[in-house]
Amino acid sequence: MSPHEHSAERPCLSRRAFLLSGGTAVTVTLLDGPLNRAFGQGAALKRASYPARRIGRISQLAVDRPVPFQYPWKDAYSANMLVKLGVPAGGGVGPARDVVAFSTLCTHMGGPLAGQYRGQHKVVGPCPLHLTTFDLTKHGMVVSGQATETLAQVVLEARGDEIWATGVMGLIYGYHSNLAGRA
């Protein structure tokens, strides 16, 4: 899979995707190959850029051992987990492209997903509220349950051994608009 970046706006997938723009600049990531087919033809996820921040080191991660961190801000809605899946993943960084990060707030009604990672299937869930499960190898795609939106994925960069967060793909639960600041 090789995501392509386009600056031009495309038709949005949903109201949440529309709200994500918040009237400010965002980029659109088009998904190719199997992932595109999984999301539907021409699937697109919007990515908002935030101030880059170092959130960990690749050498300190163990497979299937998520590490919590806050991003983009320090509020209750900025809860995420950094995890080395042990298999290549969409948006994964590091030599094996298996290090990813996701919000731990369910996109349906904000159910807490911290502690719900299932390493044997590389998913997070079921959500304790309405049982949604998300696939962390496919940009947080919904596997089953009530949610209809992919889990917000923290955009990562590997700078040597350091892992930096540089943005968020998808709307963070509790935000009326990414880039609008704190909810």
Site for ligand FES contains 145 (CB under 6 A): yes
6, 108, 121, 176: the catalytic one is 108
For residue 4, indicate whether it is catalytic.
Answer: no
Binding segment toward ligand FES, per CB under 6 A, in 42-50, 67-75, 122-130, 156-164: 122-130
Question: Half-sphere exposure of residue 121, counting CA atoms within 13 Å on the CB side?
Answer: 12
CA distance 176 to 20: 7
The residue from 130, 159, 176, 182 that contacts ligand FES (CB under 6 A) is: 130
Q: How many residues bind ligand FES (CB under 6 A)?
A: 13
Site for ligand FES contains 111 (CB under 6 A): yes
CB of 150 to ligand FES, least distance (A): 13
Site for ligand FES contains 146 (CB under 6 A): yes
Site for ligand FES contains 108 (CB under 6 A): yes
Q: Got the DSSP string for 3-40?
A: -EEE-S----SSHHHHHHHTTS--EEEEPPHHHHHHH-
Q: Answer whether the bond into residue 72 is a cis peptide, omega within 30°.
A: yes
Q: Where are the alpha helices (DSSP H) in the chain?
A: 15-21, 33-39
For residue 130, indicate whether it is catalytic.
Answer: yes
Site for ligand FES contains 127 (CB under 6 A): yes
CA distance 114 to 106: 10
Within 10 angstroms of residue 96's Cβ, the number of other Cβ atoms is: 15
Q: With respect to ligand FES, which residue has the nearer C-beta, 21 or 80?
A: 80
CB of 109 to ligand FES, least distance (A): 4
Helix/strand/coil percent split, the chain, to 5: 10, 35, 55
The residue from 25, 76, 109, 114 that contacts ligand FES (CB under 6 A) is: 109
Binding segment toward ligand FES, per CB under 6 A, in 8-16, 33-41, 46-54, 125-133: 125-133
How close are the terminal C-alpha atoms of the chain, in Å?
33
Q: Contact residues for ligand FES (CB under 6 A)?
A: 106, 108-111, 127, 129-132, 145-147
